[in-house]
Amino acid sequence: MAARTPAGVVEERGTDSAAVPLPRVGPDSDAGSAPARSRVERWTTGRWLAVVSGVALLVLAALGVVGGWTLAHSSSVTSDMVDHTSPALVNSVRLEMAVINQETGVRGYALSGRRTFLQPYTQGLADEKTALTAIRTAITGDRRAEADLQQMLDRVRDWQRTIAEPVAGASPSAVRSLGPGQVEAGKTSFDRIRKAAATQQDHLRAERSAARQRLSHTTRLRDWIFAATALVILLLAVLAVEGLRRGITSPLLRLSRDTRKVSDGDFGHAIEATGPADLRGLGDDVETMRRRLSQELAASNLAHRLLTEQAEDLQRSNSELEQFAYVASHDLQEPLRKVASFCQLLERRYASELDDRARTYIGFAVDGANRMQTLINDLLAFSRVGRLHNDQVPVDLEQIHDATVDALAVAVEESGAEITRTELPTVTGDTTQFGMLFQNLLSNAIKFRRPDHPPRIHVSAEPDGDFWRFSVTDNGIGIDREFSERVFVIFQRLHTRDTYEGNGIGLAMCKKVVELHGGTIGVDPEHSPGTRVDFTLPAAPAAPPGPATDPAADA
C-alpha cells in the first residue's frame, strides 16, 4: 500500500528499499499471460531505421539508374546531332560552295582570258580539301551519307578532269577559242554536281530533323523522370518524417513529459512506454527507476530527519563543549597563577633561608606553571581558529606582513634579522587568521636560526592558476626531508625546549588556517640551506567594473 508523505513523496509501506529488488516492468514481465507480440512489434528503433533506410535507398537507386540512363541517352542524342549531323550538313554546304567557286573561276577565265579570274578556282580547291576532311570526320559510320559523298565526289572529279583542269591549264589565247559545245558540256556536268549535292544535303537535313525529334522526345522523357524522382523523394521524406514522428518523436515526447512530471515531484505518476521495442524497454527501465527512487527518497527523508536530529544534538554538544573549554581554561589557569605567584613569593620572603637547590626547584615549579598557562592559551587559540574568526573579506597581505614585522620588532632587533618581501596580493579571508599565519611563519624563521648567522627571511608570492603561491624562505637550521610532514602535526617538536622554546603548535595552526581558506601548505625538501615553507591561497575574484564617472561632474 502506498501513502503520500507531506513532501509529496510516495512511500512504499512494508518494503525495504535496500533489500527488496523491484521486478522489471515491461513486455517481458507478462509474457506468460499476454499473447506474444508480432515480429514487427518486436523491432527496435535501429531495425526500423535500417529497414526504412534500405527501402528508401533501393527506390533512390532505381530512380538514379533510370535518371542516369536518361541523361546518358540525352547526351548521346545531343552529341550525335552536335558532333555529326549538324557539322556534316554545314560542311556539305561548304563543299558545294567550294565547287561553285571553282566553277565561277573557270568560267570567268574562259570568258575573259585573264588569269586573275582563276583566283576563286584556286581558293575553291583549298576550301574543297578542308570541307572534305571535316565532312568525312562527321559522317564516319553513316553508310548512306558516305555513299552520297562519294557520288558527289565522283561527279566533281569528272567535271574537274574534263572541264576545269583543261580550261585552267590552257593559255589565254586558247581559252578564247573554246566553242559553245564545250561550255554546254561543262554546264551539264556541273548540274549533275548540284543535283548530287542537293541529294546529300536533303538526306542530312532529314537526319538532323530526326535527331531533333529524338532529342525532344528524350528531353521530355528526362523531365518526366526527374519530376517523378522529385515526387518520390518528397513522398519518401514525408513518410520518413511521419514515421519518425509516430515511431520515435511521439514516444520520446511522451516519455519526456512523464519523466518531467516525476522530476517535478509527482513520484506517484506511472510512466507508460510506447514505440519500438527499445524505446518501450527504456520506458520500462525509467518506470523501474521511478519506483526505486520513490523508495530510496522515502528512506532518504527518514535518514535526513535522523541526521537533522543528530546535527542539532551535535550543535548543542559543541556549544556545551565551548562553554566547558572556556570555564576549564579559566579554572585551570587560576590555580596555575596561584602556584606561580606563591612560589615566587616564597622565594622572595625566604630568600635568605633557601639554598641553591631550593631556588632551582622553585624555578622549576614557576617555569612549569608558566608553560602550562602558555600551553592552555595556545590550545584555546588553536581550537578557536575557524570558529570565532571566520570573516570572508578582502585582506591586503602586504599590510598583514608589515604589521607582523612591526609586532616582531624586538625579536628582529635581538637576532639581527633582515626580512624582505616582494609585492603581496590581496586575497579573501579572515584578517585575524592571516595575522596568525604570518606571525607563526616569521617567528619560526627567526627562532630556528643558526648560531652566528643573522636570519635572512624573504617572503614572495606569484600567481599559480586560480591560486597564489607564497614562499617564506630563511637561512636557518632547516628541516630534514623525513620530518617535512611531521612538523605540521600538533605538539610535534624536533628539538628540546632547552634548545628552542615553544609548544609545537605554530605550524599546526598555520596548516589549519591555510586549509580553512582552501589552500595547501608544505616544506620544500629540496631547498638548502635553511627552510622554505610554501603555501597556496585562492586568488580573490575579480572585482566587477564600477560605474563610469563623469569627469566634468568630478570637476
pLDDT at 551: 42
Pairing verdict, β 467-473 and 532-538 = antiparallel
Least confident stretch, 29-38, 46-55, 187-196, 220-229: 29-38
Residues in the chain: 555
Partner residues linked to 47 by β-bridges: none
Q: Cα separation of 247 and 241, whole Å?
A: 10
Considering only residues 76 and 128, tell me which one the structure prediction assigns the higher pLDDT: 128
Residue whose C-alpha cell reads 533506410 in the numeric block: 53
Taking CA atoms, 351 is separated from 94, 110, 363, 368, in Å, by 152, 173, 13, 20
Q: Write 517-521 long-range contacts (CB < 8 A, 24+).
A: 517/427, 517/429, 517/430, 517/433, 519/467, 521/488
Pairing verdict, β 521-523 and 532-538 = antiparallel
Residue 176 has pLDDT above 90, yes or no: no
- What three-state secondary structure class fits 2? strand
Q: Cα separation of 111 and 179, whole Å?
A: 11
Least confident stretch, 238-252, 312-326, 407-421, 434-448: 312-326
Pairing verdict, β 10-12 and 2-4 = antiparallel
10 Å CB burial of residue 141 (0-12, 13-18, 19+) is: exposed
Cis peptide before 529 (omega within 30 of 0): yes
Considering only residues 373 and 482, tell me which one the structure prediction assigns the higher pLDDT: 482
pLDDT at 458: 92
Pairing verdict, β 456-464 and 467-473 = antiparallel
Q: Tell me the pLDDT band of 472, cut-offs 50, 70 and 90.
A: very high
End-to-end CA distance of the chain: 78
Q: Cα separation of 239 and 248, whole Å?
A: 13
Q: Cα separation of 478 and 256, whole Å?
A: 65
Considering only residues 439 and 357, tell me which one the structure prediction assigns the higher pLDDT: 439
Half-sphere exposure of 205 (CA within 13 A, CB side): 7
Q: Tell me the pLDDT band of 527, cut-offs 50, 70 and 90.
A: confident
Query: How would DSSP label each residue in 176-200?
Result: HT--HHHHHHHHHHHHHHHHHHHHH
Residue 464 has pLDDT above 50, yes or no: yes
Report the percent of the chain where pLDDT is more than 90. 5
Residue whose C-alpha cell reads 573579506 in the numeric block: 393
Is 11:291 a contact under the CB 8 Å cutoff? Answer: no
Backbone angles phi, psi at 137, to 5 degrees: -65, -40
Q: State the average pLDDT over residues 15-28.
A: 44
Question: Alpha-carbon torsion 319, 324, 329, 330, what sign?
Answer: positive
Is 85:313 a contact under the CB 8 Å cutoff? Answer: no
As given in the structure block, the three cell numbers for residue 514 are 591555510
Q: Cα separation of 37 and 240, whole Å?
A: 24
Q: Cα separation of 453 and 113, whole Å?
A: 136
Residue 465 region by backbone torsions, left for phi larger than 0, else alpha for psi between -120 and 50, else beta:
left
Helix (H) or strand (E) holding 107: helix 86-112
Is 26:281 a contact under the CB 8 Å cutoff? Answer: yes
Sheet holding 467-473, edge to edge: 418-421, 456-464, 467-473, 532-538, 521-523
Q: State the average pLDDT over residues 258-268.
A: 75
Q: Tell me the pLDDT band of 17, cut-offs 50, 70 and 90.
A: very low
Q: Tell me the pLDDT band of 535, cut-offs 50, 70 and 90.
A: very high
Q: Which of 83, 196, 97 is nearest to 138 (CA)?
A: 83
pLDDT at 177: 62
As given in the structure block, the three cell numbers for residue 110 are 574562259
Q: Tell me the pLDDT band of 34, cut-offs 50, 70 and 90.
A: very low
Q: Indicate the pTM of the whole model.
A: 0.41
